[in-house]
Amino acid sequence: MSTPTKTFMQHLFQQRHAGLIERDLTTLLHSVATACKAIANHLKNGDLGDAMGALESENVQGETQKKLDVIANDIFLERCQYSGVLAGMVSEEMEDIHQIPKNLPKGRYVILFDPLDGSSNIDVDVSVGSIFSIFELPEVPEKLTIEDVLRKGVEQVAAGYAIYGPSTMLVLSTGHGVNAFTFDGSIGEFRQTHEDLKIPADTSEIAINASRRRHWDESLRNYVDDSFAGEAGTRGRDFNMRWIASMVAEVHRIMMRGGIFIYPVDDKNRAEGGKLRLLYEASPMGFLVEQAGGAASTGTERILEVDPTGLHQRVGVVLGSANEVACALKVS
């Protein structure tokens, strides 16, 4: 009889028994996995359910909220705040820190998350995801402050994402490589399907929203033009292009087969610092990519070294196959 694949929880127990993670982190990650399963369940019914479409409301970044942005946020809050191990939570969909209600036990962990990434893709049935970043405080705070959560990405104790695509997957790093788990609906659990993922250093796939070309810095235009000049150009070979408009889906492709993903600071978003949010998009993805042997930069510095100044701060993002990121940064 063949050995059944490890479940997500068995993986966490193994890491805990090996002394790699603490028991409270196991508890939190179990809550996160449960939240992701509940979100996947909402998504799978599509227009048959009552969860599709936009709301009247805007989030703190002035973006129209989709019903599912709010549903996914509520699911994360509900599933994680009962874990008893959290000091508080930060979300793309909430302006301020979410404090753990007084009647619930607290702990030393902080989770920062994008409950639904790529939400413009929901209504067209293209992959979306959830992204999370986890820090550990030295002690349980009375009230979680902004200073407590403005931490450099290098301090993360875990980061991951769920992708809701043809299958639902959970991709996790606790700082000991990257492992991926696929949802097995027959037992209602994630089971390990990928061990110690490694991103190839070289690639021929570039992901960038080329409709913004006219806003790019000259050096970025040169890098992209050189890459797409094909055999006749300075790079001497063909490159392919991808753009899904779900960061989770782009990073997942890079995790599976390599590539580079660029959302640069350009003339149109320079005043805001870029498009993607540091604490719950760039930083956790940077952690995962580095854990898989790739590179992650804002365009000027390592994402994990950025000293955060605000909960919803934005940065440029250049991440993926190490040699390609180096090439893009050299030109730009």
What residues make contact with ligand AHG under the rule CB under 6 A?
A: 63, 92, 114, 117-119, 209, 245-247, 263, 275
**Which residues does residue 133 pair with via DSSP β-bridges, in sequence order?**
112, 159
Residue type, 183: F
- Least Cβ distance, residue 214 to Mn ion (angstroms): 24
Strands of the chain, DSSP E: 54-58, 64-66, 86-91, 98-99, 109-117, 128-136, 158-164, 168-173, 179-184, 189-194, 205-208, 240-242, 260-263, 276-277, 295-297, 314-315, 317-320
Please choose, from the candidates 98, 165, 130, the residue with its C-alpha nearest in 3D space to the C-alpha of residue 32.
Answer: 130
| Residue whose CB is less far from ligand AHG, 23 or 268 | 268
Residues contacting Mn ion: total by CB under 5 A: 4
Residue corresponding to tokens 């899904």: 244
Residue corresponding to tokens 């492992």: 179
Among the listed residues 35, 114, 260, 317, the single contact to Mn ion using CB under 5 A: 114
Please choose, from the candidates 302, 308, 206, the residue with its C-alpha nearest in 3D space to the C-alpha of residue 263.
Answer: 206
Q: Is 250 in the site for Mn ion (CB under 5 A)?
A: no
- Least Cβ distance, residue 152 to ligand AHG (angstroms): 22
Residue nearest to Mn ion (CB): 117
- Least Cβ distance, residue 180 to Mn ion (angstroms): 20
| Residue whose CB is less far from ligand AHG, 117 or 324 | 117
- Least Cβ distance, residue 70 to ligand AHG (angstroms): 13
| Residue whose CB is less far from ligand AHG, 266 or 324 | 266
CA distance 12 to 21: 8
- Least Cβ distance, residue 73 to ligand AHG (angstroms): 11
Q: Is 117 in the site for Mn ion (CB under 5 A)?
A: yes
Stretch that binds Mn ion, among 15-23, 32-40, 91-99, 137-145 (CB under 5 A): 91-99
- Least Cβ distance, residue 187 to ligand AHG (angstroms): 30
Contacts of 5 (CB under 8 A, 6+ apart): 191, 192, 193
Residue 209 binds which entry of ligand AHG, Mn ion, none, CB below 5-8 Å type-dependent: ligand AHG
| Residue whose CB is less far from Mn ion, 116 or 262 | 116
Residue nearest to ligand AHG (CB): 247
- Least Cβ distance, residue 244 to ligand AHG (angstroms): 7
Residue 246 binds which entry of Mn ion, ligand AHG, none, CB below 5-8 Å type-dependent: ligand AHG
Q: With beta carbons less than 8 A apart as the criterion, state whether 148 and 89 touch.
A: no
Could you tell me how many residues make up the chain? Answer: 332
| Residue whose CB is less far from Mn ion, 116 or 303 | 116
Please choose, from the candidates 49, 332, 95, 81, the residue with its C-alpha nearest in 3D space to the C-alpha of residue 218.
Answer: 332
- Which tokens in the block code for residue 241? 């292009």
Residue 33 binds which entry of Mn ion, ligand AHG, none, CB below 5-8 Å type-dependent: none
Contacts of 119 (CB under 8 A, 6+ apart): 66, 68, 69, 128
Contacts of 113 (CB under 8 A, 6+ apart): 76, 89, 90, 91, 92, 130, 131, 132, 133, 280
Compute, in degrees rounded to 10, the torsion defined by CA atoms 174, 177, 182, 183: -10
| Residue whose CB is less far from ligand AHG, 40 or 85 | 40
| Residue whose CB is less far from ligand AHG, 76 or 263 | 263
| Residue whose CB is less far from ligand AHG, 92 or 136 | 92
Torsion over CA: 168, 174, 175, 181 (sign): negative
- Least Cβ distance, residue 301 to ligand AHG (angstroms): 20
Binding site for Mn ion (CB under 5 A): 92, 114, 116-117
